[in-house]
Amino acid sequence: MKILLLCNKSPYPAKEGGPIAMNAIIEGLVKAGHKIKVLAINTNKYNIDVNKIPAEYRKKTEIETVYIDLSIKVVDAFLNLFTKKSYHVQRFISNDFDKKLIEILSGNKFDIIQLETLFITPYIYTIRKYSKARIVLRAHNIEYLIWERVAKSCKNPLKKFYLKHLSKTLMNYEIQALDKYDGIASITKKDADDLRNMGTQTPVIDISFGIDTAQFHVDNSKTEFPSLFHIGAMNWIPNEEGIKWFLENAWEKIHKEFPKLIFYLAGREMPQWLFNTTLPNVKVLGEVESASDFIRSKSVMIVPLLSGSGIRIKIIEGMAMGKTIISTSIGAEGINCENEKNILIANTANEFLIAIKKCVEDKNFTEKTGKNARCLIDNDHDNKKIIERLTNFYQDIL
């Protein structure tokens, strides 16, 4: 098949959840023998130098990018309060991107055009006009749910009001868009059920995040035990929100119980308030050169998410490397995991303390949980199996 992927971020370099998920699909489709073309939005938030993309990657993906400034414009954001349009979606609309898309569609015939996230949906009109390809939405999240949850936990009344407006307009757009696609491939079964419950007649399938399991090996020979760590892009609001909650509500109790235990924080766009923290034994590293090396060097991953949707890519990668994960119920959504078998679930400060205590005081338990986590990845997240399901779905809607 000939497949065009329209991406809200460049899939290369794959440094955070969205690009990692997109790149996994691209690499899997290429390995399966399909012809791939990528058109991606290059943004101020995830800016890449196209000239630094390796020639081999450019050749197999024919990747092109169009720059869109996604900076929040105060006046536009305020005026949006008086409309029913989604400000999130409106920011992705670009004449330059539309022109480049028309150029590509006018010179090529595609079987499938896959929209990576809801935010590419405004370009469906152009696709229908210039192509007969089937359109598939790759739903990384239920987008409005993220903002609904963020709004719910927000304590500032004015900010809460505005976040509710954003989530409501985004929800309305998301629901209205569902029947514009020919197929929807959600990243979790829960998301697929939620999409069907919204009333869509469009075929929906759950296609999880897959990895090349051969690229993720378990190696605890240089692991610091015990140690805690978190890694994730901190410009994603749920990540920053979760870490702030964990440090303010749980860390004092944990440090008092285990005064020598260190909590390492790594990830892109680390906010200054974290670099300035004086909390004992909290080591803020910022972006690390190798996420895999960092994960292997620590023992227990902390994922204290209070909001969000979809699936946590870094949890999957951590499990693939045999790490024990302690996460909230929301953080573990979309993963076929079992508490105290291949993950530990904690939703309160005391539950995090209890889970950490189990890991710190019993190395065998920690290593066994990590081994079980790796078995889960082999069974449910092997990229070859994921791609087979996705291409069968393509064939069905064709």
* Token reading at 263: 């909590």
> Which residue in the block uniquely carries the two structure tokens 């906010």?
271
> Which residue in the block uniquely carries the two structure tokens 């979309």?
334
SS3 152: helix
Higher pLDDT, residue 280 or 84? 280
Chain region(s) in the chain for CATH 3.40.50.2000: 2-210+382-397, 214-380
pLDDT of residue 236: 85
Query: Is the CB of residue 66 less than 8 Å from the CB of residue 97?
Result: yes
pTM, full prediction: 0.85
Residues 6+ apart with CB under 8 A from 182: 134, 135, 136, 202, 203, 397
Beta carbons within 10 angstroms of residue 16's beta carbon: 23
| Residue 292 one-letter amino acid | S
pLDDT digits (tens, 9 = 90+) for 305-326: 998 777 899 999 999 999 999 9
Phi-psi region of 199 (alpha: psi -120 to 50; beta: other; left: phi over 0): left
b/e per residue 259-274 (b: at least 16 CB within 10 A): eeebbbbbbbbbeeeb
Superfamily of domain 2-210+382-397: Glycogen Phosphorylase B; (3.40.50.2000)
* Token reading at 165: 């407006």
Query: Is the CB of residue 5 less than 8 Å from the CB of residue 38?
Result: yes
d(CA 79, CA 131): 35
pLDDT of residue 159: 87
pLDDT of residue 140: 92
pLDDT digits (tens, 9 = 90+) for 91-145: 999 999 999 999 999 999 999 999 999 999 999 999 999 999 999 999 998 888 8
CATH number among 3.30.230.10, 3.10.20.30, 3.30.420.140, 3.40.50.2000, domain 214-380: 3.40.50.2000
Confidence of residue 55 (pLDDT cuts 50, 70, 90): very high
Average pLDDT over residues 169-176: 94
Query: Is the CB of residue 351 less than 8 Å from the CB of residue 327?
Result: no
